[in-house]
Every structure is written in C-alpha cells, then in structure tokens.
Structure 1
Amino acid sequence: MPNSNNAGGAFGESEPCSKLAFADWWAGTAGSRWVKTPAGAMDHRRFWDAMDHLDTEALRSIETELGRRMVTEFGLDLSGLVLDMTNFATYIDSANDRAPIAQRGKAKQKRMDLRLVGLALVVTRDAGVPVVSHAYPGDRPDVTQFPMVIEELVTRYRALASSVESLTVVYDAGQNSADNHALIEESGLGFVGSLPPSDHPDLLAIPRKTYVAVDADRYPGLSCVDTEVTALAVTRRAVLTHSPTLHTAQSRGFDQTLAKARKRLTELQTRLARGRTRRTRDAVEADIAAILTPRWVNEILTVTLTGQTPSELRLTFRTDAAARKKLEDRIFGKRILFTNRTQWSVAEVVAAYRSQSEVEAGFRQQKDPHVVSFGPMHHWTDQKIRVHVFYSVLALTVAHLMRRQADQAGLHMSVRELLNELAGIEETVLLYHHGGKGRPRARRMLTDTTPTQDRLADLFGINRYAPTR
C-alpha cells in the first residue's frame, strides 16, 4: 500500500527565508534531484564566501553581460526605456560605520527612523524588464544620481541598439535640472519627461476651447495642445494635456486638504476667542502659516488676525470661492509633457509618459514582502549590500521576463499570480511496501494540475524535469 510524501513544487514548496535555512528548504524541493550539489555547498557560510568574490566592478560586468544576453535571447525592445528611483529601509544599526551606503534621508516607505539604500532602475517599456540598476546612499537626492545612470545606460547599449538616438528614456519631473538635461541633449538620446505646470503659467493660460482630443479610443476624454516650451535652457516640443480623471482626483484631494485647514483654523479661532491664550502674536502667526502651508491653500483661504497681546488676539477667515474656481480652471487635470520626439504623434508621447507605471510596478513588487522582495536584508557592509541589491534586481528581472513570455502566449497575469500557479506544480513521492519486507520502493509523480498550469509547464519546459515512470 503506498504512502505519499510531498517533495515540493517545481519551483519550491515554500519561500526560502534565510541563508541558514536554505539547505533545509532546498532538500524539500525537487531541485536537489536535478542539480547534484554537495550538501556542504548549501551551508550558509558558503553564501558569504561567494558574495565576497563580487566587488563593484564584477557586479557591473555581470549585469552588463546579462543585459546583453537578455536583449539578444528574448528580443527586448530597447527603443523605449523608463527611469525611476526609490529607496528601501534597512535595519542597520546607527553605530555601524561599515555601510556608508545606508543613510537616513527622505524615506519613501515613511520609515524616517531607519537608514536607507537608494535604487535607480531603468526598465524596458516592453514588460518592465530591468536593464540597468544603480545603488546609492539613501541620503542623496534622486536628481544627483541621474547622470551616472544615463552614462551607464549609453555605455551598455551603444553596441546593442541600432544607434543611441533610437533609445528614448522616460522620466518624471523629479529628475529635472539644467545639468541633467544638458547631459541628455549631449548624449543624443530621445526623451519624454514632464515639467511642473505651475512653472509655466503661459501654457496654463491657453484657452481650453483650443484643446483637441488625443485619441478617443485609447484615451477617452484626454485632450491636448501640441506646442513648444522653453525650459531647462532649451526650447523643445511640449504637449499640454488635460485629463478629466486627474482633474476630478485633484479637485477631490484639494477639497479634503481645504477641509483639514478650515478645521484647524476653526480650532485656533475658538481657542483665541476664549481670551486665555498665552501665545504671542508671532507664535500664532507661525501656527497660521503652518496651517496654510499645503499647496494652493493660501490662495483660497484668507485669514485675518487682530489684536496685539495674547488676550486680545482674534482670528477670522473666509474661503474665496472665486479663487477656488480660478485655480481649478487654471491647473487641475493638466500636465506638461516635454520631449524631443517631434515626429511622434501626441498619443505616442502620452503612451511613453504613462509607461512609467512599468518601473513603478517593479518597485511595488520589490516592496512586496512575499514575492520577489528586496527585504528583509541581513547585511551590514557596503559590499554585501550591493550584492544583495544585484540579486534582488536579478530576481525581479527573471520574474518579469517570465511574465512577458506568459503574456506573449496569451496568459495575462501578474508576477504574483504567475509564481503562485507555478508553485502549484508539485511533485509527490509514493512509497510502496511489499508484504512489509525490505526497503520501500519510491515512485515520483506530479500532482494534478490545472489547464493554466499545464500551459505554463509547456511554455517553460517544466515537463522535461518531471519524473518519469
């Protein structure tokens, strides 16, 4: 009579949690049958030894070669690339001086108490596959890292693209500076970026009646003016767009901001009306300034403070409805896209700009604690942190290549959905006892699979690893 034991999924029964636990995890998968690796090679100390061999130059060489092979093997389209930057919180002790790459700065995960490691990624618009990564100290502004990433991008892909001029890099206004844009102009790269609307009142003043539809099928409701703008020391094409969806979201968000400001002003007004405050006029004026700090609030709320001594201070305020409407008409829903792609249609420029969602999806994936995660990171030196960044980005790269391949085969799913499906392709060991004598005979077989899992197994060639009778 057979007994069954689960020998793990084709891609592992569970997530490997730490280097110390890796050997036990590996033994519970089917991988130990495919790769005859000595048990000692799985010891956690061997991982440290391997990491010690990879300095910054070695990591750059490996990533460059991997990028070259990805482009040639998978036919990645390099004509559209998206650049963005983020940072990741670490748990490195403040007194540790062996990891200067981990610094306190503006934490995008809102963990102001933790040291940060910054990461810049360049990904393809084609499925968001990372092709360049750059780790940097978490206290450095993103805009300062832009030149290094662009120089690395041009160096790596000059030989792979038909010409550097065929590459178009997409990035947001956070990377803007005159020096950065001069680098883009000198490199010959195509670019699609954005400009802060409030910096260009002449464009915002263009009457809405002159706007035309971008593409009613692809972008319902989106309208634009195709013009020029002088910014960052050059004059280039500008596409001023208006999105009803963005307009509504900005209007709703601003109403919430105004409501919070009015509530705080009402509370301050009530306290002053009691005549018992000890705060000086200067202190109260500072409170009012703080309340009016959020963008545009001081344009809409008019505040009057009377009296000189604490007991005499009184506050009144009103909402300027006309100014509120003027603000909404002038700026809500509008974006200024900035590009040197003069031959592209407006829809192509918009599509390029919106492709930033690909790199943002990659960052969200790395911040997912369960699938293709950057953390937790248990390293305490610069060199090992850089190795950790490398293999974290490599995991993201493999996952997005697989998602891209599945998508091309008609299987449209997220990375999490894809890996969950693959994890469900499991192997079972049946142990047969004959009359209770001798050693049991083992038979390996796959568990029942779904039609989607069958298609994925064929797509990725998993069946060649499946047990045979």
Structure 2
Amino acid sequence: MMCGMALYKKTVNGNVYWYLREMARVDGKPKMVSERYLGSAKDIEKLLDAKEAVSVPERTKHLGFGDSAAVWGILARLDVAGIIEGVVGPRRKDAGASVGTYLALAALNRVVAPTSKLGFADWWKTAAADRFTKIPASVLDHRRFWDAMHALSLEQLAVVEERIALAMVAEFNLDISALALDMTNFATYIDSANESAPIAQRGNAKQKRTDLRLIGLGLVITRDGGIPLLAHAYPGNKPDVTQFPVMIDALGARHLKLAETAGAPGDPEVTVVFDAGQNSTTNFSCVTDTHLAFVGSIPPSHVTDLLQLPATDRAIVDGDRFGGLTAAETRRVVYGTERRVILTHSPTLHEKQVAGFTQTLTKAQAKLAKLTETLARGKTRR
C-alpha cells in the first residue's frame, strides 16, 4: 500500500476551508485513508504564529565561531600551550590561565582578528571561543598577557619555537629537505613613547608605513607551501644589509639542528632568498662561503643592457603555475663574481605598475595644472 499526504480545499457558502488528506492505493485504487480539518487560511496562520512564538527566541546574538574554532583546533593539535608550559614551568595557582594558554590565545587573535592586548577581552566577547576553550573574558586582562610574555626569555622562546616546529613536522608530515631563508620587516602599532619594546624602531618600512615602528624578521620556511619554521627578530632600524650575516649564521645553525632532530635524511637543501636591500660585496661573499644556494635581486640599473632585449628572447617559465611569466637567462659579473642572471617579466605585475604609474602621473598633472592656474592669476604668495 502506497501512501501520500495532500492539502484539500472545500468551499462552503463561499468560504474556503482546508483539510489534510492521507491518500493510499488500496486494491489498486486510490482511497482516502484519513482526513484532518485545518480550518480557514486565518486559522492556519494563527497555528503557525503560535508555533513560531514557541520556537523562535525573543532575541539572538551573533558570535564568530568558525575561524576561531579552526585556529584553536590547530593550536590544540600541535599542543602549543603544553609545549610552552614544558619550557617555562607549570601555571601559577593565582593565574587565570597558564603562560602557554595566554600565548596560544595571543596567536589565535593574531590570525583571526589582530587587536591590542588591551582590547582582547572585548574582542573575545564577540566570538564564541569561550564555549570550546572554557576560558572566560574575565581572566583575559591585558596585564595577564604582558606577564605571560615577560615569563618567556629569548633563550626559552628559541626552544619553544624549535619544539613547535618539530611538532608541525611530525603532525603534518612537512618536507624539510628543502628550505628557504628570507628577510622582511613588519609594522607594529606599539606607541612611540613605549620604551618597553626596544626592538620596535623606526626604519625603512616595506609596507610603506613610515608612521609606525618596525620589527625586522628573518624566517626559515618550507619550500613547499612557505610554512614558517624558525625565526630571527631584530630591531627595525637595523638595515637588512647589516643583519644579513647574523641571520645566516643564527638561522643556518638552528635549521641544521632542527633537521637532525626531526630525522631528515641527508643534509637539507637550503636556499637563501633576499632582495636588493641586502646587496653588498660582503654579503655576497658571506652567502657564497656558506655553500648555500641563494636567489638575490639586483636593480635594473645594474644590467641596463638586459632591458634592451626583445620580448622574443624571453620564454614562458611554466604556464600552469605562473601564467604568462617569461624569463631570459644569461651570465653577468655581479659583485665581483660571474653569476647566473635571470631577467623575468610578469604581465600581471606590469599591468599593476602601469595602473599605479598612471594614477601617480594623473595626480602630478592635476597639481601642475592647479599651480599653472595660480601663477596665471598672479596671486601667489611671496
């Protein structure tokens, strides 16, 4: 017997009434098995309103969940808080949370919605993270974060970093047979009058934020995926060119230790990546003496003849991976040694540069036009 439900309309004295009928096929013929009276359209509306009044809450609150849960899940898988506590010691009895937990929460915030430690508790109230971390906003005073950061010395920080890197290698099966070293800096919002963070200094900001204090950073990253493993921080007012040898020595030794501890087969292949900011005869000699592979950058003004090459001299590098990127390879003497030199051209970057140049040119022309108009009126100030 096959059954089905359907709405059925009856009109009585010009009024429409609705019924819910259950139909079934009995002995091969359709037959009504049951019928329920629903009432008029108004009656049905009242029933729905009553149901919604019971099921719909009086008010709702929207909290962020997915991003916080995803990041916290990764931190938990790597046992970041536990690793930190294993280095700095157990939690104080009067502390709302352990040092490891506070620093893990700081990392969570940096990934999801970077804010100051002063504003952390307010941000925490906008997320649902307290549901799965079991950490209330009441213990997230900014001073607790500062205490946690002060509890970790630079030497302990290096140990924590290496242990987390080992956990990442083990948990995600990272390939550390090929690594890259890179240098950069990033702007911070540390107040100019704050003397508690001497590493944050004014310098040549790669983000063009000349109004903010900078921190320099050298990184060891996996060649596959660019996952950072080890870091070396330095004051933002130190030119990259002076920090380059220090970074090579510091991170070079640490990455070899990491590879040995992780049980990587053979010596990992390391490529040092640097831009023109690190260029000097001393630095080129330094990286050459380490026998590490390296990729650097030289200003176009040093190889003006290469800029005259016709586009037909360049070939597509890898259409699937890099689109229309083309390159031409040759050899040149760079900082006293003949080296392999590759000239590249990116259509995408070219279009962006043209757009940026056009925008700058338009602004300059507008200013010149305004100046010309002012001079023509003869009303300039002396």
Coarse TM-score class (shorter-chain normalised): 0.5 to 0.7
Identity of aligned residues (%): 45
Is the alpha carbon distance of 1:208 and 1:43 closer, same or farther for their aligned partners in structure 2, counting shifts above 3 Å?
closer
Matched, 1:256 2:359: yes
Partner of residue 215 from structure 2, selected from 117, 123, 133:
117
SS in 1 for 2:165: helix
Matched, 1:235 2:338: yes
Matched, 1:193 2:296: yes
Q: Which has the larger radius of gyration?
A: 2
Which letter does structure 2 place at the counterpart of 1:123?
Answer: I
Q: 2:38 aligns to what?
A: none
CA distance in 1, matches of 2:160, 2:143: 22
SS in 2 for 1:140: coil
CA RMSD of aligned residues (A): 4.2
Q: Which runs of 5+ in 1 are unaligned?
A: 280-469
> Comparing 101-110 with 178-187, which one deviates more in the overlay?
101-110
Give the conservation status (yes or no) of the 8 Å contact 2:215–2:236.
yes
Q: 2:89 aligns to what?
A: none
Residues 330-389 of structure 1, C-alpha deviation per residue, up to 9 Å, x if partnerless?
xxxxxxxxxxxxxxxxxxxxxxxxxxxxxxxxxxxxxxxxxxxxxxxxxxxxxxxxxxxx
CA distance in 2, matches of 1:242, 1:27: 46
Q: 1:208 aligns to what?
A: 311
CA distance in 1, matches of 2:292, 2:326: 27
Matched, 1:30 2:108: no
What TM-score, normalized by structure 2, do the two folds share? 0.58
CA distance in 1, matches of 2:337, 2:205: 33
CA distance in 2, matches of 1:50, 1:26: 23
Q: 1:290 aligns to what?
A: none
Partner of residue 242 from structure 2, selected from 144, 160, 163:
144
CA distance in 2, matches of 1:145, 1:61: 22
Which letter does structure 2 place at the counterpart of 1:248?
Answer: E
**Which structure carries more relative contact order (alpha carbon 8 Å, separation 6+)?**
1
CA distance in 2, matches of 1:180, 1:28: 49
Q: 1:85 aligns to what?
A: 184
SS in 1 for 2:297: strand
Q: 2:169 aligns to what?
A: 71
SS in 1 for 2:317: strand
SS in 1 for 2:296: strand
CA distance in 2, matches of 1:9, 1:82: 35
SS in 2 for 1:100: coil
Which letter does structure 1 place at the counterpart of 2:157?
Answer: L
Matched, 1:156 2:258: no
Deviation at 1:201, TM superposition (A): 0.7
Deviation at 1:44, TM superposition (A): 7.2
Deviation at 1:111, TM superposition (A): 4.8
CA distance in 2, matches of 1:42, 1:258: 50
Is the alpha carbon distance of 1:103 and 1:222 closer, same or farther for their aligned partners in structure 2, counting shifts above 3 Å?
closer
What TM-score, normalized by structure 1, do the two folds share? 0.48
Matches within 5 A, 1:351-430: none
Q: 2:347 aligns to what?
A: 244
Give the conservation status (yes or no) of the 8 Å contact 1:173–1:196.
yes
CA distance in 1, matches of 2:356, 2:128: 49
Give the conservation status (yes or no) of the 8 Å contact 1:229–1:238.
yes
Which letter does structure 1 place at the counterpart of 2:294?
Answer: F
Matched pairs, number: 274
Give the conservation status (yes or no) of the 8 Å contact 1:82–1:125.
no
